[in-house]
Structure 1
Amino acid sequence: MKVGRAGDAPPFLVMDVIAAANARAAALPPGAPGILRMEVGQPGTGAPRGARDAAIAALSAGLPMGYTEAFGLPSLRARIARHYAERYGAAVAPSRIAVTVGASGAFPLAFLAAFDRGDRVAMAAPFYPPYANILTALGMEPVMLPCDAATRFQPTIEMLERLDPRPAGLIVASPCNPAGTMLAPEELAAIARWCHANDVRLISDEIYHGLTWGTVAESTAAAFSDSAVVVNSFSKYWSMTGWRIGWLLLPEDLVRPVECLAQNMFISAPHVAQVAAEAAMDCTEELEANKAAYAASRAALLEGLPRAGLDRIAAADGAFYLWCDVAHLTNDSAAFCAEMLDKAGIAATTGLDFDRERGARFLRFSYCGPAEDMRAAPGRIAAWLGR
């Protein structure tokens, strides 16, 4: 029987690392040191208490929790719109907000509404793998812009100007995964305006907003362009990964196309998750405490990893990742990560997941797990490497 070409999309390698780490943990003898989970961008904290209480209350009341409107509960959309006014000073109509099945559900909706088969869409490399994999599965062509520390692993207008022909779209992420670097507001504004002037649809991934560390100001593409698409999620700052809830902030011309696609592809995001997400947006004190814990883990790793031999780390402006150049230790980061899991009990992600051309010399650590695990990691690595 025929198998569709979309099934040829490359794997998301971090998922394989998760499976290997799970297997390794299950095989440990009683009393052995556990596996330090630094491979996946999943907060070690659960949903905030207010979100859990709201879900419990809704379920206890016997509410049917059926389909909502395709774009989500009107109250949640209004609360997200208020978030843009409070955090960025940006006036956003709730009608432009589409609640989605996580950011993972938002990307195919945005790509299908904004682009056609065969369209070229540019992005910085290294990049979040599903950008390219989803585009490829949809018959679109990812165009890589090789970036490095000289541009803080972010694209520049000069890179875009050199593309011939111009792409149909550009994906930016600030803070980005895997490097954790950010575009300064003036850089994001310049890119947004260049895209608008050149009929290049800007897709701005802002799912790590709220998790920034004071070096670069946080800004939204929606403040600089009426044609940009903004993607966000409750998975990271709000610690709600498994609830599968995110959103799109859409330009007016994409509102109805995305709504029609959402109606047919997803019907709606989970009702109970929407109730919880709305409550989560008012749990600032608890969420800021989570952020403080990430900051402490970040500081411990930035101090300890160089002493362990990993001293080539990208500027970690935001998110909860460290992008490490390990070319002085290996030319095969996949094998390096496998050995680190086996010998040091630390799960990390090979750079090949994020950059197919140069990723063999990089790996990514996630530091959103338990703080005590993050503090222990440099010592384990040092012992393994004989430092």
Structure 2
Amino acid sequence: MALKIGRGAEAPPFIVMDVITAANARQAALPPGAPHVIRMEVGQPGTGAPAGAVAAAAAALQAGAPMGYTEALGLRSLRTRIARHYADWYGADIAPGRIAVTVGASGAFPLAFLAAFDPGDRVAMAAPFYPPYVNILAALGITPVMLEAGPETRFQPTVEMLERLDPRPDGLIVASPCNPAGTMLHPDELAAIAAWCHEAGVRLISDEIYHGLTYDNPIATAAALSPSAVVVNSFSKYFSMTGWRIGWMVLPDDLVRPVECLAQNMFISAPHIAQVAAEAAMDCTAELQANVARYRRSRDLLLRSLPAAGFPKLSPAEGAFYLYADVTDRTNDSRAFCARMLAEAGVAASPGVDFDRARGNRFIRFSYCGPEADMAEAASRLAGWR
């Protein structure tokens, strides 16, 4: 007798993870001395955790500090430090009690979605989008609603797009800076969207995991603009701590206890040692800003060199560490195009179909958070590859 398989088993792959596997296999198959594969497929900083974070974790372990369960919402000292971060960066007064420490941003999203929405609800977002938004929502029985965005709005949603939706959605996810385009909702735009959502009874989920990685424009947080918004952030990107699996949420008052109960049951708590390291990381400003300067140099180099290498249509790259390239003139199959680029040029990039299922066959995403020398070498290789 065949056994039932749950709806969650039908979740599609996060294609960038398949690209990582292919790039790893190609690197392993290269003969000694061959040019290495240049990794531009994944948004993983090549810088590693700040020295102060590593030292704090090592000191805690050497002192024999017990690394057990913490409160489900996280260490109180870390939550207090995150609250101070909002005062320092945004001038926002956020109570530590509204902060939930999570198992990365990836652990925050299902908590937010389960607390805020029911099966059958409709949650809007701009396309292109971060794939797990859609995959997690669908696994929970929540319907994603796509707002097709393009260069004319910097691949970001607008109030006008929202007003055209009938019926109105139950929620909206925004990301600024966004993955894959690296563009931002400017403060006035985010404020307008936050106000519209609050007045319309639409729950706003603001993905702010790339805050700190901005180059020319000011940033704003939805936590300072709406009493009903959920803000998701992470130590993975600006703080360069991907493998430590530590993130946080700023919650509206009505969702604090629901998220706490869900976290107790689903995760118990984020890893204790990661929380210790994360708290120390927040004071490593000089090292972190040096990382940002490095990303800026790589961004500027690629914006100058990729057009001459056959990629003239690039997103504005206002933040994060991504360039979204329109390759319509070269292919209508971005997945095959990326596979060929890996095989022939030794450069790994992500196909746009991961981020936009309707139009992504004409786009690819480059990540430029790897070593600066690799970014320069990638530009050189691609200039000689067609």
- TM-score over 0.5 (shorter chain): yes
| 1:106 corresponds to 2:108 | yes
Displacement after TM superposition at 1:278 (Å): 0.1
**Structure 1 vs Structure 2: percent identity of aligned residues?**
74
What are the Cα deviations for residues 271-308 of structure 1, in whole angstroms up to 9, with x where unaligned? 00000000000000000111111111101111110110
Q: CA deviation at 1:63?
A: 1.2
Please state how far the C-alpha of 1:223 moved relative to its aligned partner.
1.1
Partner of 1:41: 43
TM-score of the pair, normalised by structure 2: 0.99
Deviation at 1:51, TM superposition (A): 0.1
2:121 paired residue number: 119
Alpha-carbon separation, structure 2, partners of 1:376 and 1:326: 20
Where does residue 69 of structure 1 map in the other structure? Answer: 71
Per-residue CA distance 1:187-211 (angstroms, 9 max, x = gap):
0000000000000000000000000
> How far apart in 2 are the matches of 1:58 and 1:139?
42
- How far is the alpha carbon of 1:236 from its aligned partner? 0.1
**Using the alignment, how far apart are the partners of 1:275 and 1:83 within structure 2?**
16
In structure 2, the partner of 1:359 is 360
SS in structure 2 of the partner of residue 183 of structure 1 = coil
Look up the match of 1:90: 92
The answer on 1:150 being equivalent to 2:184 is no
Q: Say which SS state the counterpart of residue 59 (structure 1) adopts.
A: helix
Structure 2 counterpart of 1:303: 304
Q: CA deviation at 1:384?
A: 1.2
SS of the equivalent of 1:209 reads coil
Letter in 2 for 1:22: N
- Counterpart for residue 219 of structure 1: 220
The Cα shift of 1:121 comes to: 0.1
What secondary structure, in the 3-state scheme, does the structure 1 residue paired with 2:365 have? strand
Q: Secondary structure at the match of 2:385?
A: helix
Gaps in structure 2 of 5+ consecutive residues: none
Amino acid in the other structure paired with 2:106: S
Q: Deviation per CA, 1:161-192: give whole Å up to 9, x if none.
A: 11111000000000000000001101000000
In structure 1, what is the Cα distance between the partners aligned to 2:276 and 2:299?
32
1-structure distance, mates of 2:49, 2:144:
34
Alignment-mate amino acid for residue 28 of structure 2: A
Amino acid at match of 1:124: A
Residues 136-177 of structure 1: per-residue CA shift (max 9 Å, x gap): 001100000000001110001111011111000000000000
Alignment of 1:1-387 (within 5 A): 1-214=3-216, 216-385=217-386
| Cα shift readout 1:24-79 (whole Å, capped 9, x = no counterpart) | 00000000000000000000011000000000000001112000000000000000
> What CA deviation, in whole Å up to 9, does each residue of 1:321-363 have, x standing for no partner?
0000000011111111000000000000000000000000000
Distance, in Å, in 1 between the alignment partners of 2:379 and 2:63 is 48
Q: Distance in 1 between matches of 2:127 and 2:299?
A: 23
* RMSD of aligned Cα (Å): 0.5
Cα deviation for residue 378 of structure 1 reads: 1.3
* Aligned-partner Cα distance in 2 for 1:277–1:378: 34
Q: Distance in 2 between matches of 1:64 and 1:20?
A: 40
Letter in 1 for 2:157: P
| Structure 1 stretches of 4+ moved >2 Å | none
Give the distance between the partners of 1:189 and 1:295, measured in 2 at CA.
Answer: 26
- Cα displacement string for residues 253-279 of structure 1 (whole angstroms, at most 9, x for unaligned residues): 000000000000000000000000000
How many angstroms does 1:2 deviate by?
1.4
User: Structure 1, unaligned stretches of length 5 or more?
Assistant: none
Matched residues in 2 for 1:63 and 1:83: separation? Answer: 26
Q: Distance in 2 between matches of 1:54 and 1:102?
A: 19
Rounded Cα–Cα distance in structure 1 between residues aligned with 2:323 and 2:108: 25
Distance 2:380 2:336 in 1: 20
Q: Secondary structure of 2:324's match?
A: strand
Amino acid at match of 1:157: V
Supply the distance in 1 between the matched residues of 2:174 and 2:218 (Cα, whole angstroms): 16
Amino acid in structure 2 at the alignment position of 1:290: N
| Alignment-mate amino acid for residue 132 of structure 1 | V
Please identify, of 166-175 and 2-11, the stretch whose mean Cα deviation from structure 2 is larger: 2-11
- In 2, the alpha carbon distance for the partners of 1:165 and 1:297 equals 43
Matched residue of 1:213: which SS?
A: coil
Query: 2:4, 2:194 → 1: CA distance?
Result: 42
In the aligned structure 1, how far is the partner of 2:52 from the partner of 2:194?
36
Question: Structure 1-normalised TM-score?
Answer: 0.99
Whichever residue aligns with residue 268 of structure 1, its letter is S
Distance 2:219 2:62 in 1: 39
